[in-house]
Amino acid sequence: QGKFTLLRDTRTDGSFLVHHFLSFYLRAGCKVCFVALLQSFSHYNIVAQKLGVSLAAAKERGQLVFLEGLKSCLDLVFGEEEQPGQPSPLQFLSGSTSDLRALFDFVRVSLTPADGDSWKGPVLLVDDLSVLLSLGAAPVAVLDFIHYCRVSVCCQLKGNVVVLVHSNEDSEDEENELVVNSLCHHSDLILWAEGLATGFCKDVHGQIKIIKRLSLRQAAEQDLVQIYQYKIQDRNVTFFARGLSAAVL
């Protein structure tokens, strides 16, 4: 509880990590606010069903609060409101404000426990944060949003925050790299999925670097780094040490 986990991908698609955490926290009985900026609800629901979880059922019982970013963007562009009288969480797109206060308020209200709630703990899941920059949000506004979410969800509500960001060390997108590097410094745990430097392989889809930020808690400690390779299958992901894939053995 109270942890900030950063999911980072480079030269590959790290969305399998998002699907894992979404199904994991729902099965664990946690209240989940999912800010989905990359795909539609039906996409996430189809993948979740393969993992044995129904997002539609979780929404009905109030366990899952789902923000469908694609739909919200279209509603704002065409001047429609999802619920009349209520501001859109992505209000900054309309140009009336430059900060992400409305999005933070949506998260805070969604995860604040109500009377009679029996969920084990609140979880904020964001897929993916880089989209906010593409939509025109300033890096400072994005970092402020994550800071306030950490204070509200991790510190006050004793919940967890899990965020996916795309990164490319050779990229000329300085704003995105600024956000990624800043988030790395504040993360309790970093799961960094990378594509293979040698190119495509049918038996190894990439490698994942697990960085436990021990130095964040104790200044004298070294961060613990573990590296595995992985293969994505239809319903799960297989992990193995480097050099121990079927392609080698």
Peptide bond into 128 cis (omega under 30): yes
- Work out how many domains the chain is built from and give that number: 1
For residue 228, tell me if it sits in a domain: no
Is 208:193 a contact under the CB 8 Å cutoff? yes
CA distance 203 to 196: 11
Range of the domain at 133: 3-78+108-204
For residue 236, tell me if it sits in a domain: no
For residue 65, tell me if it sits in a domain: yes
User: Would you place residue 88 in the very low, low, confident or very high pLDDT band (cuts 50, 70, 90)?
Assistant: confident
CATH number of the domain where residue 114 is located: 3.40.50.300
Q: Which residues of 105-143 are buried (b: 16+ CB within 10 A; e: fewer)?
A: ebbbebbeeeeeeebebbbbbbbbbbbbbeeebbbebbb
For residue 174, tell me if it sits in a domain: yes
Neighbour order of strands in the sheet with 160-166: 64-68, 31-36, 122-127, 160-166, 4-10, 189-194, 206-212, 224-232, 237-240
For residue 8, tell me if it sits in a domain: yes
User: Would you place residue 73 in the very low, low, confident or very high pLDDT band (cuts 50, 70, 90)?
Assistant: confident
Higher pLDDT: 115 or 162? It is 162
**Token digits for 181?**
């590097």
For residue 241, tell me if it sits in a domain: no
pLDDT over threshold 60, residue 249: no
Q: What is the pTM of this model?
A: 0.91
For residue 39, tell me if it sits in a domain: yes
pLDDT over threshold 90, residue 45: yes
Q: Which of 111, 125, 15, 20 is nearest to 63 (CA)?
A: 111
pLDDT over threshold 90, residue 51: yes
